[in-house]
Amino acid sequence: MKLAWCWRCKAKVPMLDEQEFALVEDAYREGTFKVKLARRLDDRSLREEDEATILGTVAPRYHQITGSSGEVPRDVLKHRLSLVGPACESCGKELRTPLAKKCVECGHVRDSGILESSTVGT
């Protein structure tokens, strides 16, 4: 787990590595299964409180991994280190994706270190 910038939340949040993410994802699936089962048994559509049921299943594992307390972010499945890019060379906030060439927070264009096509093969 590492604190990193989330462009959705506009804050530094705990980003999960792949092992930690797998634990949270399992809890998310478990919560989703509970909701699907309840919907099938009650023959009902999706309700607003169903999201709270899912996040309530995720919360114990998320808090155990991150050491945080309080509400589990709605975008918890997007708080995954492999989805964010490196820190911006200018502002220090993580880029939206590993392949991003520009920081949308400050506008800095990333020095990718990739050779230009005109110098390749010379």
Instruction: Quick: pLDDT tens for 76-87.
Output: 999 999 999 999
Task: Give the containing element (helix H, strand E) for 37.
Answer: helix 18-42
Average pLDDT over residues 62-67: 94
DSSP state of 114: P
Query: What is the tens place of the pLDDT at every residue in 10-54?
Result: 999 999 999 999 999 999 999 999 999 999 999 999 999 999 999
- pTM of the full structure: 0.80
User: Three-state DSSP class for 6?
Assistant: strand
What is the residue type of 113? G
Q: Residue 16: what are its φ and ψ, rounded to 5°?
A: -95, 140
